């Protein structure tokens, strides 16, 4: 199966990667960009062509489909999900995938940027992939393995299950979402529309990685309103909003609380956008931590800094609004680890040793788990995501596809899924009340 499967995965992934699906955090539409429909509509056509049932594109931009059960017993419905959008942090337009066959362990260079180097010395995981087929972009764009690798894997697994009804499995739901990269992948209607007892996102990294612990995340928007006046008459009157915004950024403890200076279970505060002028400026922050008290502390620190800067210039107006985004899926999955344990067993049965580490990020599964559908995250092989060094091993994608098929079989023997813990539902409401501070 592996050689034919590898050929299919390569063809699918390269084709999907060439489609620009960059999402846009400034857009209020769903999907946030019209270009995501180019892939979403293609997936509707391809799912229909391979024989999936109940294929539809929702009004909020998610593709849904069903693979009918091949067993008569009433067993849990599982779902596999991936997102079609790519991160707006780096260009996803004009992607030119390159397949480096039978990787020899040397540094990989990029034709469109000869100064760019993907080195196994800097990336130990790459050093372990000698002999694999490595796919990169050409040097001036991201690759889009996050998460078109997941899309290709799910499509390949779906085709195999549909073509081999002798494989025992219960009902399987397929879902492709937009806008995961901007935190809007899980629409309020998705859990009901998905109609699954348990789900898995294909949005992970290293071979064997089964994720059940992610960051909890809040977004913070800081608005600074200064006093605008012609600079020729500004003496004693101008209050420059950009200067105050810069002071807020400079006051953050950069040595201990930014993504580039933290690791492991440490959280961070990331300023990822600043725009405006002397009259007014807006700053966007990402607050991240594995524990809620740490997340709350990050928000309080940012609010305190805004208050302190406000105190230095009473003529200005500074506001800080903190909005919940997603929560650590561990809070719910630790109440019932069967979805994780079955994924680990499926790994072992395909000859891959599973492991779990806390992931310094979030997935659509973080929100789905919080909303009542337990959704661990599975490996795809994607590496160095959101930048021009992004790469993936085709052989890792093969193993991820095999994992999906094996999981479908194991859930057919797993029995019924317990109802979602009501205490967890209650805590979800408590965790998502927005916090506002205005100075």
With 0-12 / 13-18 / 19 or more C-beta atoms within 10 angstroms meaning exposed / middle / buried, residue 379 is buried
- The string of pLDDT tens digits covering residues 378-432 is 999 999 999 999 999 999 999 999 999 999 999 998 754 443 333 333 333 333 3
Please report the pLDDT score of residue 46 as a whole number.
98
Structural domain boundaries, residue 291: 216-325
Asked, for residue 431, whether it belongs to a domain, the answer is no
Residues 304 and 338 in one domain: no
Residues 208 and 273 in one domain: no
From start to end of 152-303, where are the E strands? 172-177, 198-204, 210-211, 216-225, 268-276, 280-289
Please report the pLDDT score of residue 125 as a whole number.
97
Asked, for residue 432, whether it belongs to a domain, the answer is no
Residues 37 and 162 in one domain: yes
Q: What angle do CA 77, 79, 83 make, to 5 degrees?
A: 165
Please report the pLDDT score of residue 415 as a whole number.
57
> Model pTM?
0.87
Supply the CATH number for residue 7's domain. 3.40.630.10
DSSP letter (8 states) at residue 142:
-
**Using CA atoms, how far apart are residues 66 and 52, in angstroms rounded to an integer?**
6
- Looking at the 3D structure of the chain, how many domains does it have? 2
Among all chains, which residue has been given the structure tokens 């290293």? 206
Query: Residue 153 — pLDDT band, cuts 50, 70, 90?
Result: very high
- The string of pLDDT tens digits covering residues 5-55 is 999 999 999 999 999 999 998 899 999 999 999 999 999 999 999 999 999
Q: Which residues contact 166 (CB under 8 A, 6 or more apart)?
A: 70
Residues 25 and 166 in one domain: yes
Please report the pLDDT score of residue 341 as a whole number.
96
**Using CA atoms, how far apart are residues 396 and 299, in angstroms rounded to an integer?**
38
Mean pLDDT of 268-296: 95
Residues 169 and 313 in one domain: no
End position of a domain, from candidates 305, 325, 345: 325
Residues 143 and 155 in one domain: yes
Helices and strands (H and E) in the chain: how many: 12, 17
**Using CA atoms, how far apart are residues 283 and 80, in angstroms rounded to an integer?**
36
Residues 42 and 150 in one domain: yes
β-partners of residue 201 are 81, 377
DSSP letter (8 states) at residue 259:
G
The pair of three-digit structure tokens given for residue 59, joined into one six-digit string: 């009004």
pLDDT at 181 over 80: yes
Please report the pLDDT score of residue 256 as a whole number.
83
Active site residues: 85, 180
Residues 258 and 195 in one domain: no
Residues 337 and 309 in one domain: no
**Using CA atoms, how far apart are residues 55 and 64, in angstroms rounded to an integer?**
6
End position of a domain, from candidates 282, 305, 325: 325
The pair of three-digit structure tokens given for residue 320, joined into one six-digit string: 């800080």
Return mean pLDDT, the chain. Answer: 92
Please report the pLDDT score of residue 123 as a whole number.
94
What letters, b where the CB count within 10 A reaches 16 and e where it falls short, cover 118-153? bebeebebbeebeebbbbbbbbbbbbbbbbbbbbbb
Mean pLDDT of 299-321: 96
Evaluate the omega torsion of the peptide bond into residue 130 and state whether it is cis, within 30 degrees of 0. Answer: no
- Rounded percentage of the chain residues whose pLDDT exceeds 90: 89
H or E, element range at 116: strand 113-118
Asked, for residue 439, whether it belongs to a domain, the answer is no
Please report the pLDDT score of residue 361 as a whole number.
87
Mean pLDDT of 131-146: 97
Residues 173 and 245 in one domain: no
**Using CA atoms, how far apart are residues 126 and 109, in angstroms rounded to an integer?**
14
134: nearest Cα among 146, 121, 145:
145
Supply the CATH number for residue 304's domain. 3.30.70.360
Asked, for residue 233, whether it belongs to a domain, the answer is yes
**Using CA atoms, how far apart are residues 343 and 174, in angstroms rounded to an integer?**
17
Residue-by-residue DSSP string for 169-204:
---EEEEEES-GGGT--S-TTHHHHH--SEEEEEEE
Mean pLDDT of 279-292: 96
- The string of pLDDT tens digits covering residues 64-109 is 999 999 999 999 999 999 999 999 989 999 999 999 999 999 999 9
Asked, for residue 385, whether it belongs to a domain, the answer is yes
Residues 20 and 120 in one domain: yes
Mean pLDDT of 277-302: 96
Asked, for residue 436, whether it belongs to a domain, the answer is no
| Half-sphere exposure of residue 267: CA atoms within 13 angstroms, side-chain side | 23
pLDDT at 120 over 90: yes
DSSP helix/strand/coil, 294:
helix
Q: Which residues contact 169 (CB under 8 A, 6 or more apart)?
A: 67, 69, 70, 71, 161, 408, 409, 411, 412
Strand ordering across the sheet containing 268-276: 268-276, 280-289, 216-225, 317-326, 435-438
- The string of pLDDT tens digits covering residues 329-382 is 999 999 999 999 999 999 999 999 999 999 998 889 999 999 999 999 999 999
End position of a domain, from candidates 308, 325, 342: 325
**Using CA atoms, how far apart are residues 225 and 326, in angstroms rounded to an integer?**
29
Asked, for residue 140, whether it belongs to a domain, the answer is yes
Asked, for residue 180, whether it belongs to a domain, the answer is yes
Among all chains, which residue has been given the structure tokens 């489609």? 19
The pair of three-digit structure tokens given for residue 361, joined into one six-digit string: 């990020």
Please report the pLDDT score of residue 362 as a whole number.
86
Residues 99 and 152 in one domain: yes
CB distance 337 to 344 below 8 Å: no
């Amino acid at each position: 199966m592996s050689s034919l499967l590898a050929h299919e995965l390569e063809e699918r992934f390269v084709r999907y990667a060439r489609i620009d699906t960059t999402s846009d955090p400034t857009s209020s539409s769903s999907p946030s960009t019209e270009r995501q429909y180019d892939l979403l509509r293609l997936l509707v056509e391809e799912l229909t062509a391979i024989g999936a049932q109940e294929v539809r594109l929702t009004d909020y931009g998610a593709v849904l489909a069903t693979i009918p059960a091949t067993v008569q017993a009433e067993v849990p419905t599982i779902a596999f999900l991936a997102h079609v959008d790519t991160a707006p942090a780096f260009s996803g337009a004009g992607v030119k995938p390159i397949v480096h066959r039978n990787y020899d362990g040397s540094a990989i260079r990029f034709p469109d940027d000869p100064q760019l180097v993907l080195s196994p010395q800097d990336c130990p995981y790459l050093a372990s992939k000698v002999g694999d087929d490595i796919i990169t972009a050409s040097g001036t764009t991201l690759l889009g393995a996050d998460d078109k690798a997941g899309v290709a894997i799910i499509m390949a697994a779906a085709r195999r299950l549909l073509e081999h009804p002798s494989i025992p499995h219960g009902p399987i739901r397929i879902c492709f979402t937009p806008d995961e990269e901007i935190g809007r992948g899980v629409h309020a209607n998705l859990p009901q529309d998905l109609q699954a007892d348990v789900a898995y996102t294909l949005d992970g990294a290293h071979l064997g990685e089964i994720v059940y612990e992610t960051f909890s995340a809040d977004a913070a928007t800081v608005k600074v309103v200064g006093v605008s006046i012609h600079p020729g008459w500004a003496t004693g009157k101008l209050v420059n909003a950009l200067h105050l915004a810069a002071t807020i950024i400079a006051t953050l403890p950069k040595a201990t609380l930014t993504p580039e200076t933290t690791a492991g279970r440490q959280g961070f505060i990331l300023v990822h956008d600043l725009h405006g002028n002397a009259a007014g400026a807006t700053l966007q922050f990402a607050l991240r931590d594995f524990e809620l008290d740490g997340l709350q502390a990050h928000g309080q620190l940012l609010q305190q800094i805004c208050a302190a800067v406000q105190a230095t210039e009473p003529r200005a107006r500074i506001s800080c609004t903190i909005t919940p985004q997603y929560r650590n899926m561990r809070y719910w999955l630790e109440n019932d680890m069967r979805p994780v344990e079955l994924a680990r067993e499926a790994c072992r049965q395909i000859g891959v040793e599973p492991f779990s580490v806390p992931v310094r990020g979030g997935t659509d599964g973080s929100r789905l788990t919080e909303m009542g559908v337990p959704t661990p995250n599975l490996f795809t092989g994607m590496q160095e995501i959101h930048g021009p060094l992004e790469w993936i091993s085709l052989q890792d994608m093969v193993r991820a596809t095999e994992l999906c098929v094996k999981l479908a079989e194991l859930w057919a023997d797993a029995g019924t899924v317990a109802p979602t813990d009501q205490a967890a539902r209650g805590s979800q409401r408590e965790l998502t009340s927005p916090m506002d501070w205005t100075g």
